[in-house]
Chains A and B, each alone.
Chain A
Amino acid sequence: MTLLETRNLSKSFGGLQAIDKVSLKVEQNTIHGLIGPNGSGKSTFFNLLTGVYQPDDGSHINFDGVNITNSPAHAIAGLGLARTFQLLRLYGELSVLDNVMVGYHPHTKYGPLAPLFNGAAVRRQDKAVKEEMEELLEFIGLADHAEIPAAELSGGQRRLLALGRAIAMRPKMLLLDEPGAGLSPVNVDSLMSTIMTLKERYNLTIVVVEHILKVVMTTCDTISVLDHGQKISEGTPEFVKNDPAVVEAYLGREMADEDIRAAMDA
């Protein structure tokens, strides 16, 4: 079943066509990789899907049977589409626990004025949510740091927290924007195994943007390749790896095939 579908998705900033008529389908329960050289439009693509940017006319985005083309970001989040950011965007002053509790926001059962009129219900639900979120922190290995402000975590812990905050939204689909950026190879491997466990545990569909090709090639079921805002290739890792168009986008026309294989296998 197709969970996410874009048709003719376009976005231009002034004269720059950042995303150019991209049509893409993401099947349920798969890991879909999105790769492409720097500036090819991967992050813009995520920003369009999550409502951070509004797409140009003629675009169409469908998520879980709902047309979300021009929906505001908070409404899209409410439908179960969560994401992480390349630069994390954690709530630095808030504690680790509060960070994930903000993630739970779309499922809050009481209204924004309930603390004034119905304190008992607020306390009751918050207690339950807190327990659930502590369990989640336990699972991603941040339980010992629950009270610490997010800004005081180490780099790797911050990446985990960003992931935890997105999972707290109980999403159907998770968009990961370069989850491994800035991590050592060992840490990337452990992060990817955490992501795989989370996928099984919470029954997620994942779209991942990643520069570390080894990660993408080994974990993704399908890969789409963007270049200059256009989708130039799509298929299994094996297919994409051997697609001349991809090779050209990454390394230019002149490069010999052997070198490319070597680079991708590294």
Chain B
Amino acid sequence: MLFLSRIADLIEALAQRHRLLPWLLAYALLLTLPFILSTLFNDYLIDLANRACLFIMLAVGLNIVKGFCGQVTVGHIGLYAIGAVTSAVLSLEPGGFGGALGFGLSVWVSIPIAVIVTAFAGLIVGLPSVRLEGAYLALATLGLGESVRIFIAVTPALGSSTGLMMIPAPSIGSFVFDSFTSYYYLVMTAAVVGIYFSFAILRSATGRAFQAIREDTIAASVNGINVMKYKLLAFVLSAIYAGLAGALFAHMPPGYLHHNNFTVIEMVTLLLMVVLGGIGNVWGGVIGAIVVTIAYDQTKDLVVYFMDRPIVIQPLVFGLSMVLLVLFMPRGIGGWFEGVRRNRRFIQRSEEKLGDAARNS
């Protein structure tokens, strides 16, 4: 615990020198991760790291709309699907397998278009939030998100049950991002930039407006905040994160996309990340994404035999941990750490005051 606080103090000291210094340092450290993983363990872990980066982007994006702005949305995975399928279809060669659509665009063109399309979709997912709140909004967004998956599942042009195959990998000149390691640099950079921008939003008037809406909508409107505009903006911003994550997922080796990647179970996993990390806490969301991605990977083959029949218990484990988390740790890892830090600062300040008083007397 003390160790973590030391690290936090060190980061603060670095930030004093230059705002971007901790970020650059973290980025440099992360660049070495594939070498460490492949030397100490194996290449599969790099693939896992890539997935973790995608989920970090999703969790950080979801945090903007759910954590900062307080809008309960369960349709986020649908936006992820829209980003993935849009970019895949735009970049596939025409006349692909099983009647899949293809436009043969460069990946560097298809990804931005996919992000823009997802941003618009985010606006549509956000529209119910103007009228609905809480559980009702959750239901409406769940419906929207799930209908996207079903639409993909029944449309041959979008892959239907076979999925989209041979989605091209991005390339610069003759260098192709088609290995786990090379793709890692792409998604890791996107994730770091995503986290940075999420902080930039949080620490501006925009972020304060989001939080004010979360805390008290009426007070926020009387404070001059256009509630509707900011709610929709939160949805669009989070959709941009989801769209980018989805597009990067589509082109990730082995370049295969199936609607099973966008089920409600995935959505629950994503929610678990945000809740475990602490709703509204950016670093918490990042930690939650990493922890849950690893846990998901480790438990996916977990089978219990009951009367000689195998039972996959992963959904049970995840569902149960969600319930336990909400009951016993509603503020997650991030909220807990925040509390510890605040107490420490409070004690520090009190000691300083006592010292002053002693010197003055």
Contact = CB atoms under 8 A, between A and B. Distances in A.
Interface of A: 50-52, 72-74, 77-78, 82-83, 85, 89-94, 98, 101-106, 108, 110, 112-116, 119, 122, 126, 147, 165, 169
Contact of A115 (B200, B215, B230): B200
A105 B205 contact: yes
Given A102-B225, A105-B212, A126-B205, 6 more contacts: A90-B216, A98-B211, A105-B208, A112-B206, A115-B197, A115-B207
B25 to A, nearest CB: 19
Contact of A112 (B197, B203, B209, B342): B209
Nearest to A98: B208
A74 B200 contact: no
Interface of B: 197, 200-201, 203-209, 211-212, 214-216, 218-227, 229-230, 233, 280, 342, 345
Nearest to B233: A112
Contact of B215 (A74, A94, A116, A147): A94
25 contacts: A50-B222, A74-B221, A77-B223, A82-B222, A85-B219, A89-B219, A90-B216, A93-B215, A102-B208, A102-B209, A102-B212, A102-B223, A104-B205, A105-B205, A105-B208, A105-B209, A105-B212, A110-B205, A112-B205, A112-B229, A112-B233, A113-B206, A114-B206, A116-B201, A122-B200
Contact of A52 (B203, B206, B222): B222
B221 A51 contact: yes
Contacts of B207: 115
Please classify the interface of chain B as helix (H, G, I), strand (E, B), loop, or mixed, using the class held by over half of its residues: helix
A49 B229 CA distance: 22
Given A74-B224, A77-B224, A105-B208, A119 B200 contact: yes
A115 B202 CA distance: 9
A85 to B, nearest CB: 7
Contacts of A147: 342, 345
A113 B205 CA distance: 10
A104 B212 CA distance: 12
Nearest to B19: A123
**Most chain A beta-carbon neighbours within 10 Å: one of B204, B206, B214:** B204
Contacts of A77: 221-224
